[in-house]
């Protein structure tokens, strides 16, 4: 399989076989991601890291991944300190990053910004989240986490909880989990239900997701509970946000309804939706999940930039 110089805009850009290949390669990357083994396969390669929206995990794990592979990183985390502040267009900023580096990672508040950037760049563009659109590398690390913990995806009962309307991670994940044959249940406030087009994509793979507002009932036989934050920054109306924030909270009381081996995932950051007491239980997988961003992004960068495998 040839990944060299490919853009990563949506998880839909990859076939199931290609996703499996990336995830297998990410497993090989794990000791390098932890610093137990060392490599220089991306020596002399430069990554542009352009974050037009706040991030902790995606930005730092991409940077860590690039450094662990022997490459270097340029970029910004604060667009107000760039010439965007003087009115420069996204296209021109991308043209510049393209001329200074070998690949571009971009996070942007506008849906479609990553795909647009790919049109102006000759180098590969990796979407690190575009508004309420896609977050393909998060999706890959989520799949990697489930496979690592549960050994397979097919047949696992996965509950997606929270902001299913604006949540870009759950849109990509619902698609990918259906591709791999998981069983899906959606739990959200009425106003934040999973969009119809995402449900239809699941159905295209023969998966019939169920929807409920009864979280206790939904987690009873679940293997994976994937929690998301209600994202204040995506709401056009503050009152609508205030109506739904705090609707669901995962705590140890709720987890009494769960199977012993239920894993709780969250793309993070969390605010109020998971009680910190849950962190101490064997159910809590979200910090390990966030670490998995490093081997997965190492695998992708290596395949896209290097062409040579470890």
CB 310, CB 28: distance < 8 Å: yes
* Smallest gap from residue 56 Cβ to ligand CP (A): 4
* Smallest gap from residue 51 Cβ to ligand CP (A): 8
Which of 56, 89, 210, 252 is the binder for ligand CP (CB under 6 A)?
Answer: 56
Nearer to ligand CP, 8 or 199 (CB): 8
Q: At what angle do helices 168-179 and 196-204 cross, to 10 degrees?
A: 20
56-64, 113-121, 221-229, 251-259 -> range binding ligand CP (CB under 6 A): 56-64
Q: Does 138 bind ligand CP (CB under 6 A)?
A: yes
CB 26, CB 298: distance < 8 Å: yes
Query: Distance of CA 232 to CAs 192, 198, 239, 270, Å?
Result: 12, 22, 10, 12
* Smallest gap from residue 34 Cβ to ligand CP (A): 20
Rounded CA-CA distance 177/151 in Å is: 14
Interface mask (CB under 6 A) for ligand CP, residues 78-117, using x and -?
----------------------------------------
Q: Does 58 bind ligand CP (CB under 6 A)?
A: yes
* Smallest gap from residue 228 Cβ to ligand CP (A): 10
CB 12, CB 201: distance < 8 Å: no
* Smallest gap from residue 63 Cβ to ligand CP (A): 11
Structure tokens at 110: 């506008």
* Smallest gap from residue 249 Cβ to ligand CP (A): 20
Which of 45, 57, 68, 283 is the binder for ligand CP (CB under 6 A)?
Answer: 57
212 is catalytic: no
Looking at the chain, how many residues does it have?
A: 310
Q: Does 55 bind ligand CP (CB under 6 A)?
A: yes
126 contact partners, CB below 8 Å, separation of at least 6? 7, 8, 62, 103, 104, 105, 106, 114, 136, 137, 300, 304
Q: Among all chains, which residue has been given the structure tokens 């989990």?
A: 177
Phi-psi region of 5 (alpha: psi -120 to 50; beta: other; left: phi over 0): left
Nearer to ligand CP, 144 or 183 (CB): 144
185 is catalytic: no
Catalytic residue among 68, 107, 168, 270: 107
Query: Distance of CA 183 to CAs 72, 159, 172, 202, 255, Å?
Result: 41, 8, 15, 10, 20
Interface mask (CB under 6 A) for ligand CP, residues 235-274, using x and -?
--------------------------------xxx-----
Nearest to 3 by CA among 68, 67, 13: 13
Rounded CA-CA distance 148/160 in Å is: 19
Nearer to ligand CP, 138 or 185 (CB): 138
Nearer to ligand CP, 295 or 306 (CB): 295
DSSP state of 8: B
Nearer to ligand CP, 138 or 207 (CB): 138
Nearer to ligand CP, 215 or 290 (CB): 290
86 is catalytic: yes
Residues at the contact surface with ligand CP, assessed by CB under 6 A: 55-58, 129, 138, 267-269
Question: Which residues are part of the catalytic machinery?
Answer: 57-58, 86, 107, 135
């Amino acid at each position: 399989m040839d990944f060299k110089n490919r853009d990563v805009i949506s998880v839909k850009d990859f076939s199931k076989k290609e996703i499996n290949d990336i995830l297998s390669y990410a497993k090989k990357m794990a000791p390098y991601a932890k610093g137990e083994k060392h490599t220089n396969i991306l020596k002399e390669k430069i990554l542009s890291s352009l974050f037009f929206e706040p991030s902790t995990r995606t930005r730092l794990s991409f940077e860590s991944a690039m450094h662990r592979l022997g490459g270097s990183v340029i970029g910004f985390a604060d667009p107000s300190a760039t010439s965007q502040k003087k009115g420069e267009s996204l296209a021109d900023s991308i043209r510049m990053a393209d001329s200074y580096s070998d690949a571009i990672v971009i996070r942007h508040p506008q849906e479609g910004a990553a795909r647009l950037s790919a049109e102006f760049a000759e180098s590969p563009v990796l979407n690190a989240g575009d508004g309420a659109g896609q977050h393909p590398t998060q999706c890959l690390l989520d799949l990697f986490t489930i496979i690592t913990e549960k050994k397979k995806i097919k047949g696992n009962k996965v509950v997606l909880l929270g902001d299913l309307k604006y949540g870009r991670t759950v849109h990509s994940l619902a698609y990918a989990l259906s591709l791999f044959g998981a069983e899906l249940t959606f739990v959200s406030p009425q106003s934040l239900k999973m969009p119809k087009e995402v449900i239809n994509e699941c159905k295209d793979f023969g998966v019939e997701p169920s929807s409920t507002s009864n979280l206790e009932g939904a987690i009873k036989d679940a293997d994976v509970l994937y929690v998301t934050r209600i994202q204040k920054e995506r709401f056009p109306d503050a009152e609508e946000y205030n109506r739904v924030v705090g609707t669901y909270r995962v705590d140890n009381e709720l987890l009494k309804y769960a199977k012993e081996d239920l894993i709780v995932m969250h793309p993070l950051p969390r605010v109020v939706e998971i009680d910190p007491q849950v962190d101490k239980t064997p159910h809590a997988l979200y910090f390990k999940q966030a670490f998995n961003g490093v081997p997965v992004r190492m695998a992708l960068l290596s395949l896209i930039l290097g062409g040579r495998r470890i």
